[in-house]
């Protein structure tokens, strides 16, 4: 693919007018060829950095898998897939594979060989073993967030996958942390290392860190007060355990605070919906474990709340990396109970934050609501179809329609909250593209 076409789509589809220094350096060094290890913190644009040279190296669909991109989580795979499709504009066939996705849909998609496959390690190995995909002609290999893959125990799967790829000529590895020793199965050939981890220092300067002291060991009331008095912005609340996510969300829900739940124990569709509603403004608060600290396409997060102290400096950095992305600023709140000491890796601003005794409303009131359609890409429903349907059959204006999340078998449309119920009544009985769909409100 041509560089100027890719950059034009970067502007038109993703709204990015210029590459940052890291992305430019990756592009410049990629012209030299050879293996590369990119070290850069979460939120600095690594996906775009490696996709630009990868897409330029692919000449078009030729009936073989030319590039394999392997990532540790289904959410990161989906994110990479979305960016890749935006940058290719449909010129290349791309197949996305991950656990929790319909295997039959993936098998059918692989029947026409994609130029690029994007997958988690386990699912890709499963398709290889079943004979659904031939990766023997792969020449470009990307291992995104390779440190996380090792941390999650994907060593054996990746080793077996790479044995099926004897023709690899170039390897691109990305990581948000340094890796002390590279596994031998990678067969790296004098890789160029680009280290941008000092970006963390610039990130720290864009963050204001507050210590919020809870008068009781149980921090729930303090959290409620804090949420009520944060002025604005999407807010992520980090806890250390799945059970704590449920407990905090149950407490806030019983006090009529709209809140999203995200952790590894949820079904894939519930995790997808939680992120969609958080991104589109239906929910301004997401309570989560460290699972959401990396590998998710979450935009415009303003506030990070550490309800539980992070277990390590690395986790603290990744949590905070969800805000102050690119050139934005962010606020970080660390809640401590009586006698609880901040670890050495947390440095707060001199002035301690004191939550007012009477909660306000702050980030508690959502701007948008989400309407669910039980059909998606596989039923030939597009974002344009949904936008046109809403404009034609409701009182909404174009400005009152937010993001449209389109999945294989369902779609979620964000609309102005004040009109949502009326819109639902107007469109629920109607057909879209001559199809009778189940149209409901998501909460």
Q: Facing residues of 262 across strands?
A: 288
- Identify whether the C-beta of residue 208 lies closer than 8 Å to the C-beta of residue 347: no
φ/ψ region of 354 (left if φ > 0, alpha if ψ in -120 to 50, else beta) reads: beta
The pLDDT value recorded for residue 53 is: 94
Note whether 54 and 190 are same-domain residues.
yes
The bridge status of strand 301-306 relative to strand 234-238 is parallel
pLDDT band at 313 (very low <50, low <70, confident <90, very high): confident
The pLDDT value recorded for residue 200 is: 47
Q: Model confidence over 36-87: pLDDT tens digits?
A: 999 988 778 899 999 999 999 998 889 999 999 999 988 899 889 999 999 9
Note whether 312 and 386 are same-domain residues.
no
Cβ neighbors of 443 (< 8 A, separation 6 or more) are: 258
Residues of the chain with pLDDT > 70, as a percent, come to: 93
Q: In this model, does residue 165 exceed pLDDT 90?
A: yes
Note whether 354 and 386 are same-domain residues.
no
Closest CA to 375 of 415, 411, 427: 411
- 3 state SS of 6: helix
Considering 197, 224, 239, which residue would you say is the last residue of a domain? 197
Kindly state the average pLDDT of the residues 335-352: 86
- Identify whether the C-beta of residue 324 lies closer than 8 Å to the C-beta of residue 42: no
Q: In this model, does residue 32 exceed pLDDT 80?
A: yes
Long-range Cβ contacts of 76-83 (<8 Å, 24+ apart)? 76/144, 76/145, 76/294, 76/295, 76/296, 77/118, 77/119, 77/120, 78/272, 78/297, 79/47, 79/295, 79/296, 79/297, 80/47, 80/51, 80/118, 80/144, 81/118, 82/297, 83/14, 83/47, 83/48, 83/51
The pLDDT value recorded for residue 300 is: 80
SS3 of the chain: helix, strand, coil, percent, to 5: 40, 20, 40
The pLDDT value recorded for residue 54 is: 94
- Identify whether the C-beta of residue 355 lies closer than 8 Å to the C-beta of residue 234: no
Cα 230 to Cα 249: distance, rounded to the nearest angstrom: 18
Note whether 21 and 66 are same-domain residues.
yes
Note whether 157 and 281 are same-domain residues.
no
CA 122 to chain centre: 19
Q: In this model, does residue 282 exceed pLDDT 80?
A: yes
Number of domains in the chain: 3
- pTM for this model (two decimals): 0.71
Q: Model confidence over 190-216: pLDDT tens digits?
A: 999 999 886 544 445 568 899 999 999
pLDDT band at 366 (very low <50, low <70, confident <90, very high): confident
**What's the CATH number where 75 sits?**
3.40.50.300
Note whether 93 and 217 are same-domain residues.
no
Note whether 273 and 346 are same-domain residues.
yes
> Taking the alpha carbons of 244, 250, 253, 258 in that order, is the dihedral positive or negative?
positive
Note whether 412 and 351 are same-domain residues.
no
Note whether 167 and 235 are same-domain residues.
no
Note whether 346 and 306 are same-domain residues.
yes
Radius of gyration of the chain (CA): 23
- 3 state SS of 72: coil
Considering 143, 165, 197, which residue would you say is the last residue of a domain? 197
The pLDDT value recorded for residue 193 is: 93
Closest CA to 386 of 409, 403, 369: 403
Work out the mean pLDDT of the chain and round it to a whole number.
Answer: 89
Residue 35: which domain range? Answer: 3-197
**What's the CATH number where 415 sits?**
3.30.70.330
Considering 364, 384, 401, which residue would you say is the last residue of a domain? 364
Burial of 329 from C-beta contacts in 10 A (0-12 / 13-18 / 19+): exposed
Note whether 77 and 158 are same-domain residues.
yes
**Residue of higher predicted confidence among 206 and 91:** 91
Note whether 30 and 155 are same-domain residues.
yes
């Amino acid at each position: 693919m041509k560089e100027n076409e890719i950059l034009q789509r970067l502007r038109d589809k993703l709204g990015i007018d210029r590459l940052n220094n890291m992305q430019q350096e990756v592009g410049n060094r990629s012209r030299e060829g050879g293996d590369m290890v990119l070290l850069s913190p979460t939120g600095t644009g690594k996906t775009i950095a490696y996709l630009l040279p990868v897409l330029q190296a692919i000449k078009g669909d030729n009936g073989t898998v030319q590039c394999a991109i392997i990532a540790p989580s289904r959410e990161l795979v989906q994110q990479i897939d979305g960016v890749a499709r935006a940058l290719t504009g449909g010129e290349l066939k791309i197949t996305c594979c991950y656990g929790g996705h319909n295997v039959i849909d993936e098998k059918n998609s692989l029947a026409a060989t994609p130029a690029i496959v994007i997958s988690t390690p386990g699912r890709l190995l499963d398709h290889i073993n079943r004979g659904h995909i031939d990766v023997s002609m792969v020449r470009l290999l990307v291992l995104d967030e390779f440190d996380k893959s090792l941390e999650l125990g994907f060593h054996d799967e990746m080793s077996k996958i790479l044995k099926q790829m004897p023709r690899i000529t170039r390897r691109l590895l990305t990581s948000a942390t340094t890796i002390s020793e590279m596994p031998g199965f990678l067969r790296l050939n004098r890789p160029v290392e680009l280290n941008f981890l000092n970006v963390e220092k610039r990130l720290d300067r864009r963050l204001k860190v507050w210590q919020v002291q809870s008068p009781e060991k149980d921090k729930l009331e303090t959290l409620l007060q804090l949420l009520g008095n944060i002025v604005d912005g999407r807010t992520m609340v980090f806890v250390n355990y799945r059970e704590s996510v449920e407990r905090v969300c149950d407490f806030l829900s019983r006090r009529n605070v709209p809140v999203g739940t995200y952790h590894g124990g949820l079904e894939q569709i519930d995790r997808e919906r939680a992120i969609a509603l958080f991104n589109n403004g239906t929910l301004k608060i997401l309570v989560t474990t460290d699972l959401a600290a990396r590998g998710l396409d979450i935009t415009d997060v303003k506030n990070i709340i550490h309800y539980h102290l992070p277990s390590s400096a690395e986790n603290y950095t990744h949590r905070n990396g969800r805000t102050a992305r690119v050139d934005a600023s962010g606020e970080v709140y660390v809640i401590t109970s009586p006698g609880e000491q901040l670890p050495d890796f947390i440095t707060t601003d001199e002035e301690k934050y004191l939550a007012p005794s009477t909660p306000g409303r702050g980030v508690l009131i959502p701007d948008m609501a989400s309407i669910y359609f039980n059909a998606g890409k596989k039923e030939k429903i597009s974002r344009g179809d949904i936008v046109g349907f809403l404009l034609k059959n409701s009182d909404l204006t174009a400005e009152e329609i937010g993001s449209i999340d389109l999945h294989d078998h369902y779609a979620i449309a964000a609309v102005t909250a004040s009109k949502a119920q009326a819109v639902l009544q107007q469109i629920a009985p109607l057909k879209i593209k001559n199809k009778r769909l189940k149209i409901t409100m998501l909460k």
